Chains A and B, each alone.
Chain A
Amino acid sequence: MQDFSEAFGLAFRLVLSADPDLLEIIALSLKVSLSAVAIACLVGLPIGTAVAMGRFRGRTAVIILLNALMGLPPVVVGLLIYLLLSNAGPLGWMRLLYTPTAMIIAQAVLIAPIVAALSREVVEQLSTEYAEQFRSLSVPPGSAATALLWDARYSLLTVALAGFGRAIAEVGAVIIVGGNIDHLTRVMTTAIALETSKGDLALALGLGIVLITIALSVNAAVMALRLTATRYAYA
């Protein structure tokens, strides 16, 4: 019990003293996850919008697939990206394995379906509301898609934040493709796993405190966005 309280005390001191090792890990975690969210949005938003607005054969199957992919196990994604990027894999020549880029790719693959599936739902709801008015105004499909994305911006930001929450908290994919190399690919989740197994609970707890703070902040940001958008009737 005393060990625990000591560990907590040490963890808070690490956080409050802005320990350089801790900051380096946090910075890499944020860089990897924010980059992954950006890529996932670049890929997922157009797919979600196209599925929301399009009427084509197999649309229902695509929606089912997108929804199913939201639950992709991180370790499986990590394994697939590992196979792609390993020396024997088709993209081995790029020498990306055990780099932050590999971790970004893995997280982007993990959360792009989340962004696509959730944005499809958001855009489709708005599209249903606007459809007849847009048809009456002869709005071209490109302008309609842009207008829908813009008008759904608050809801889509919450989608992106949901993706970020998933990315920053996952450990399975990044530990396989990143390897948890100190000063190179060590992020908060992999560091917590490693330090816990080594018995260095203070650093693990310190990172855990930061991770929980980030998770809470993301949720608070989502809530604040929703409230602001609702207040101004933009949601």
Chain B
Amino acid sequence: MPDASAIADRRSWPEAADPPAPLGETRGLVYRPSDTALIDGIDLKIPGRGRTVVMGPNGAGKSLLLRLLHGLLIPTAGQVLWGGRPLDDGLRRQQAMVFQRPVLLRRSVAANIRFVLNLRGRAESAQVSEILDEVGLGELAHRPARLLSGGEQQRLTLARALATNPQELFLDEPTASLDPASTAAIEAIVNRAHARGTKIIFVTHDLGQARRLADDVIFLNAGRLAEHSPAHSFFDNPASQAARDYLEGRLVIRKPSR
């Protein structure tokens, strides 16, 4: 395994002379819930614009990294900074996350949206309808949320996350179990949020999806950062052997952590 510090951000960012100003940053990030470090000394600078896709084989630590970036897990060592400030509750309120398995309140579709709007002020019916219409669920507003199809449920969780107007939106394999049409619908919503200025950080295993969405790619292997590159560099000429193996469909063997 090459030294992570030598790999991170070592590739050129051709759109500009320098990489975009970082919004998120991790310094020596370690997550070790037991003897084994599951996230092992990750230094990252996440660009302030665009869609960052996190990739890596199973068990690489993608979901853990997302949870650490969002403050759902407390790192064993190291720091997470957003806009140069250590992550705190105030910053976390400006973020939102969509999980692989939709977690919906046992209420109607509209009530799920109303719940988050009420957390941040009073929910207006028109606002709820507008949010649901935007994700194509306006007609289903009064249906129990848990009776929706998988794709509709995930659109609802995405709408609920976006209802908080997050500056950063984390998505942990939100389309992992969805059909192509539902996947396309989710991607369209994500792209609209991105166009409105929301920073997107998206975990996926789907290479096609990563190619469609990514502006830059963070590639993890065995809890370490293998590389962080602009998307075209990553897909055309990956810097790390692990990423090359992964892109060519070879089994990437998890190596023991330090």
Contacts and interface: CB of A to CB of B under 8 A. Distances in A.
A132 interface: yes
Contact of B107 (A137, A138, A151): A151
Interface stretch (B92-100, B174-182, B231-239): B92-100
Contacts of B115: 147
Interface residues of A, number: 19
Interface residues of B, number: 21
B166 to A, nearest CB: 10
Interface string B92-117: 11011101000101110000000110
Given A137-B96, A138-B93, A132 B146 contact: no
Interface string A200-235: 000000000000000000000000000000001111
A68 interface: no
Interface string A128-160: 011011011111100100010011100000000
A61 B147 CA distance: 38
**Chain B CB within 10 Å, residue with most, of A130, A132, A152, A235:** A132
A234 B93 contact: no
B119 interface: yes
Contacts of A235: 106
B51 interface: no
A136 B96 contact: yes
B18 interface: no
B92 A233 contact: no
B72 A138 contact: no
B72 A135 contact: yes
B164 interface: yes
B144 A137 contact: no
B89 interface: yes
Nearest to B107: A151
Contacts of A137: 96, 116, 119, 164
A233 B72 contact: no
Contacts of A130: 103, 105
Interface in B163-187: 164
Interface of B: 70, 72, 89, 92-93, 95-97, 99, 103, 105-107, 115-116, 119, 144-147, 164
23 contacts: A129-B103, A132-B72, A133-B99, A133-B103, A136-B70, A136-B72, A136-B96, A136-B97, A137-B116, A137-B164, A138-B89, A138-B92, A138-B119, A139-B119, A143-B119, A147-B105, A150-B107, A151-B105, A151-B107, A152-B106, A232-B144, A232-B147, A233-B145
